[in-house]
Structure 1
Amino acid sequence: MIKDNDMINTLDELEAFLLLVENGGLGLKNVEGVALATNNSNGRPFVAVLDDKHQLLLGRWVSDEVYENGKDMVRYGVKKTH
């Protein structure tokens, strides 16, 4: 399920979303990973939260800038500051 109303437009918004997923703040079960992907039908980029069977649990559309510049954040995780 991809939420149409909740587009992630900035890297700060992506970071907040990733932290919510990591901390269990969205109430999703069996979260195994997060990936950036594109929709097969229209090429629109989104961030996908995947379960242990690589099935989509939740997706949020992302801007082109976030898709291009947020890859390392998704791949390596959010760097926490102390």
Structure 2
Amino acid sequence: MINDNDVIETLGELETFLRLVEMGGLGLDNVSGVALATNNANGRPFVAVLDDNQQLVLGRWVTTDVFENGKDIVRYGAKKPH
């Protein structure tokens, strides 16, 4: 499920989204991972929240800049807020 109006445009927004997922703030069940991916139909990049079976639970479109520069944030997790 990806909403076309929800686009993550900055690395800060990506970190906030990942923290929400980690803390359960989005009310998602069985979340086991997060990945950056591209849509097979149009090549558009998105961040995918995956369940235990590696199925898409939630997705958010990301800009090309976030896709290219946010890989380490997704891989290692968002920085903890002060």
What's the TM-score bracket when you normalise by the shorter of the two chains?
over 0.9
Q: Distance in 2 between matches of 1:81 and 1:59?
A: 23
Q: Distance in 2 between matches of 1:61 and 1:68?
A: 13
SS of the residue 1:73 aligns to: helix
Q: Distance in 1 between matches of 2:32 and 2:71?
A: 17
Structure 2: stretches of 5+ with no match in the other structure: none
Please tell me the residue identity of whatever aligns with 1:67.
F
Q: Distance in 1 between matches of 2:74 and 2:3?
A: 19
Aligned to 2:54: 54
Q: Distance in 1 between matches of 2:65 and 2:53?
A: 29
Compute the RMSD of aligned alpha carbons: 0.8
Structure 1: stretches of 5+ with no match in the other structure: none
Task: Normalising by structure 1, report the TM-score.
Answer: 0.97
Task: Normalising by structure 2, report the TM-score.
Answer: 0.97
Whether 1:41 aligns to 2:28 is no
SS of the residue 1:54 aligns to: coil
User: Aligned-pair distance for 1:3?
Assistant: 1.4
Q: Within 5 Å, which residues of 2 pair with 1:12-51?
A: 12-51=12-51
